[in-house]
Chain A
Amino acid sequence: MSAQRTTQKVTLAKGLNMGLRAAMERDDKVLVMGEDVGKLGGVFRITDGLQKDFGEDRVIDSPLAESGIVGTAVGLALRGYRPVVEIQFDGFVYPAYDQIVCQVAKMHFRSQGRSRMPMVIRIPFGGGIGAVEHHSESPEAQFAHTPGLKVVACSNPVDGYWMLQQAIACDDPVVFLEPKRQYHADKADLDVDATPQPLFSSRVVRRGTDVTVLAYGPTVKTALKAAEAASNEGRSLEVVDLRTLSPLDMAPVYESVRRTGRAVVCHEAHVNLGMGAELAARITEECFYSLEAPVLRVGGFDTPYPPSRIEEDFLPDLDRVLDAVDRSLAI
């Protein structure tokens, strides 16, 4: 009965919006800042209605300058606020890269723990929306490589709702990656009275026995579709939604790979030095004697993100995941 009362079907965009609202209601130090986040509600409408309800002091339309957004958010955090900044698109984060890497990431360390940076940097990431250049990128490895930052990626509306609130409550800076292709796609049942899974933990989202497929953000859906297709051919894929990229939560991954003996990593980011490289290294170190095949990586090619008419050839899809599964099982 109570489930009926609190459960509703929401998109990822709605889940994130509800998560932001809940965090702002809970703590009046939470501020939202970014380009077009106020009246417009963000170009993806993630902040829709928040300025109307929380006012211009808490939902701040910023000048069009990403370093300025993150840099002033540093000052707000030093003053005791918990800024949630929106970078409008992944490819526009680079003007803020210096502030994120040199200031946000290092402030707590530099100050010997005296100055905290409870900041969330929301970045819509990934491709598949037919956009022009700079609107479809996957910069996660560049942030996961930076000590002092935590990096997470949600893949579905329920995680969007909970993970965003958990990231805001975290006393460390969190780069929060949102698969923009999923914003207005599938709906899911959100129970706001449920107990959420801890933020920095991965999750097995489909049980299987033959190959472990590791995914996060937009590729979780791809991996699940591949698992469904594989099952029709008598192959059983286990799918892990990593959810957290820094720190990585490897325990469920190791447990899975020790059972299956095979792993395929799938992300939209370029394969070279991407998250898959780190995952493959760690799996090799920890599961060496359980592995039946090398860890394989499926990802964006090592080209710049291509013109959108061929982006589906660049992005890993169901067939490329299954191709990697075939290659893994052929060894």
Chain B
Amino acid sequence: MSQTSGFGPDLAEVFGPSQQDGGPELVQLLTPEGERVHHPEFDLDFSAEQLRGFYRDMVLTRRIDTEATALQRHGELGIWAQLLGQEAAQIGAGRALRPQDHVFPTYREHGVAWCRGLDPLRLLGLFRGVDQGSWDPEEFHFGLYTIVIGAQTLHATGYAMGMQRDGVVGTGDPDRDAAVVAHFGDGASSQGDVNEAFIFAASYNAPVVFFCQNNQWAISEPIERQTRIPLYQRALGFGFPGVRVDGNDVLATYAVTQAALQRARDGQGPTFVEAYTYRMGAHTTTDDPTRYRLSDDVEHWKLKDPIARLEVYLKRNGLAEGSFFGDIKDEADQLGATLREGCKAMPDPRPSSMFDHVYAEMTDELAAQRDGFAAYLSTFADAAEEA
């Protein structure tokens, strides 16, 4: 029933049960059953090689996640933020990037990191507690994992403003024009910083794609606690387009992200992409989702698995030769072994290294504190290797 009060449509209808599977606005190119469907705006032709590449990326990303979860259970990691179920959203978004584009991740973008060429072992450092991010963001065009929810969306917007000033937006040169992707989740959409990022990006027409993985859960809180309308519809209120894509469909996610990135590179400003997906695992390895959600829901989403649907499509259409799937499995096993060995071999940092990078220009008082600590350590019998 529509309201007749003059205040617009009944929000219960807008956000009602019809939205549970993403609603009619969901952009999809590959159904959960592995059927290739078409979309009037976001359709693309994918080569068999490209599709096999997506499959490989997703399988290996899932393996990274599985191994890291196991490493946490074995006490080798302090914590791990799982991405199980979100592989398509991340690989689609990651593979749509050009080398010169720049990514600002949360702490869960392991699949995007993979696409940027980052050794997955380096992701583990933060979760093992041996560093807080060990890669050069400028080398990989991939920022450090950001723990404070939503803070990086402002950094992404500022970085995009810098690109505008550097003259790498809207020149028409595909090797020069660049854009930024800001990753965040449904929980972060409630943060002030994210909303301020929308406002700054809109105001300056900054080349940034706001890529929201709506995995339906912010730890224990369901999406209904964060929003009363579909998230992508918020974008219009900020003055830029929003689109909801099936985040378990790597083809659609790739197509939509690529279009949004091109829009940004062309100087047409920000876009909001809501990748509609589901967090199949826990928030992190410290979380217990059985306390707040029904296993029925998880079972429902298992049927939408991003990898299974692409596997069905590849097999049914003869796009991968017989050894392909076995080869990928072997590669995943090898990757798993490498991660296990590499993780355990990661050395602890020297205690005195905590003083090294507090400032670009070391202060005398901190140097004195460091030296005092070193002198203190040297009073112990086994001091030599400690500092």
Contact = CB atoms under 8 A, between A and B. Distances in A.
A and B interact: yes
Given A75-B157, A79-B162, A63 B203 contact: yes
Interface string B116-160: 000000000000000111101110000110001001011111111
Given A75-B160, A110-B133, A200-B363, A102 B144 contact: no
A76 B137 contact: no
Contact of A71 (B196, B358, B364): B196
Interface in A74-103: 74-81, 95, 98-99, 102-103
A167 B249 CA distance: 49
Contacts of B192: 65, 67, 95
A76 B159 contact: yes
Contacts of A70: 154
Contact of B163 (A79, A112, A113): A79
A22 interface: no
Contact of B155 (A75, A113, A248): A75
A247 B356 contact: no
B165 interface: yes
A6 interface: no
B299 interface: no
B154 A68 contact: yes
Interface in A242-281: 247-248, 250
A105 to B, nearest CB: 9
Interface residues of A, number: 44
Contacts of A147: 358, 366
A108 B155 contact: no
A63 B359 CA distance: 30
A67 B197 CA distance: 9
Contacts of B363: 150, 200, 247
Contacts of A172: 359-361
B348 interface: no
B159 A78 contact: yes
Question: Which has the most chain A C-beta neighbours within 10 Å: B155, B160, B192, B193?
Answer: B155
A328 B203 CA distance: 57
A110 to B, nearest CB: 4
A284 interface: no
Contact of A112 (B131, B154, B166, B196): B131
Nearest to A147: B358
Contacts of B136: 111, 114
B335 to A, nearest CB: 25
Contacts of B361: 170-172
A265 B365 CA distance: 20
Nearest to A170: B361
A21 interface: no
A115 interface: yes
B161 interface: yes
Given A72-B161, A79-B159, A114-B136, A65 B199 contact: yes
Interface string B52-85: 0000000000000000000000000000000000
A308 interface: no
Given A62-B200, A75-B159, A172-B360, A109 B132 contact: yes
A73 B162 CA distance: 9
Contacts of A31: 165
Contact of B137 (A68, A99, A114, A248): A114
B357 interface: yes
Interface string A52-67: 0000010000110101
A71 B162 contact: no
B199 A68 contact: yes
A50 to B, nearest CB: 16
B133 A111 contact: yes
Contacts of A110: 132-133, 144
Contact of B196 (A67, A102, A111, A247): A67
A248 B157 CA distance: 34
A150 B359 contact: yes
B39 to A, nearest CB: 33
Contacts of B133: 110-112
Given A68-B199, A71-B158, A78 B137 contact: yes
A147 B155 CA distance: 21
B387 to A, nearest CB: 18
A102 B148 contact: yes
A150 B133 CA distance: 23
A71 B159 contact: no
B193 A112 contact: no
Contacts of A65: 192, 196, 199-200
A108 B358 contact: yes
A134 to B, nearest CB: 18
A232 B160 CA distance: 61
A116 interface: yes
Contact of B162 (A75, A95, A248): A75
Contacts of B200: 62-63, 65, 68, 72
Question: Which has the most chain B C-beta neighbours within 10 Å: A81, A114, A118, A248?
Answer: A114
14 contacts: A63-B196, A65-B196, A67-B192, A68-B154, A71-B154, A72-B154, A75-B159, A75-B160, A76-B159, A80-B162, A103-B155, A112-B134, A114-B136, A147-B358
Which 9 A-B pairs rank lowest in CB-CB distance, beginning with the nearest? Answer: A75-B158, A71-B154, A79-B162, A72-B158, A68-B196, A75-B159, A171-B360, A247-B363, A113-B357
Interface of B: 104, 131-134, 136-138, 143-144, 148, 151, 153-166, 192-193, 196-197, 199-200, 203, 356-361, 363-366
Given A31-B165, A98-B148, A172-B361, 5 more contacts: A72-B154, A79-B163, A109-B357, A110-B132, A150-B359
